[in-house]
Structure 1
């Protein structure tokens, strides 16, 4: 059952909702702003509704993977399915393994693993983004809080997997980190540079 959970999790995670939603209105999100398929870049199209839908669907696929995995084989299968969904979002087979950065997906996974941990991470994400006006800072802080709150509220196995996801998420933000250091990172509501 764990192999089934891994496969289902990966396939769910690899659905590129940002690309599909923007394509439905005639835009290829990979040609907009940073070229990323996630919520922040979808917001750069000016369509807040599509950005909100991308956020919810990307979080939803992470949560769904965990819940399906648990149904198939208990908590460990849920952990594996959630991890696979995260990897599917970052490296989707449909897009030559070039996906998003995983913020919404890790939030959804954490919400399904331990709802209170997910709420804490969501609050950290919103607080970090609002305080700094940098979506990337809010996302990286949220990922770190997913690992900490997940460990405390869902247990060490979840904590270890979420810490691994957080580390990979931060690596995926390496260009953002370089722009933050250089003072060229785009703020929320600003066009990507």
Structure 2
């Protein structure tokens, strides 16, 4: 019963979309109808500017952290991986947005940081340096999803079960799935740099 509660609660928390709310209530628009059509940070920066793009990132990051924090300190740490997965799932497929949400990068970072601090911090630092220097946000987001399970395996080994690690893998696979179009464009050399 607790697992079902965690799944529903975390999914609903994940559906809080920073870019959608800012676009709707500050700009009177649907972010999904602008730019790339994605309800995430990169498109928010392109459409609404750096300030609101950063605010989008912050909202999505903090909702991931807050969701895992609440689950961890009310039901226990054994549920945090389940919470992270369903929070990201809610961000990616929010029911009230016709299941058309963001790609889950900021939410994954925020949730993961409350679960495995050192592997997450390492991933965030590498992502930040790579994204800022190349301005290819999608490339470094894809690499983050690829390397995060390895960082957990080597830095947090022994602290999670096979089931919990499987949930981490599913979270990262979900992120990679949402980046499938970016992967295709990167392979064709057609992916646009942020600000390019």
Q: Which moved more, 1:147-156 or 1:165-174?
A: 147-156
After superposition, residues 76-91 of structure 1 pair within 5 angstroms as 76-91=78-93
1:161-180 paired onto structure 2 within 5 Å:
161-180=167-186
Alpha-carbon distance in structure 2 between the residues aligned to 1:174 and 1:25: 30
TM-score w.r.t. the length of structure 2 is 0.89
Q: Does 1:36 align with 2:38?
A: yes
Contact between 2:23 and 2:31, CA under 8 Å: does it hold in 1? yes
The answer for unaligned runs of 5 or more in structure 2 is none
Structure 1's unaligned 5+ residue stretches are none
1:25-45 Cα offsets, whole Å, 9 max, x none, are 223211221100100000002
The residue number in structure 2 matching 1:185 is 191
Deviation at residue 131 of structure 1 after TM alignment: 4.2
Q: How many residues align?
A: 190
Distance 1:54 1:152 in 2: 31
Once residues 3 and 32 of structure 2 are traced to their aligned partners in structure 1, the CA distance between those partners, rounded to angstroms, is 33
Taking the TM superposition and a 5 Å limit, the aligned residue runs for 1:42-191 are 42-154=44-156, 155-157=159-161, 158-190=164-196
3-state secondary structure, aligned to 1:113: coil
Q: How far does the alpha carbon of each residue in 1:47-66 deviate from its partner, in whole angstroms, 9 at most, with x for none?
A: 21111111111111111121
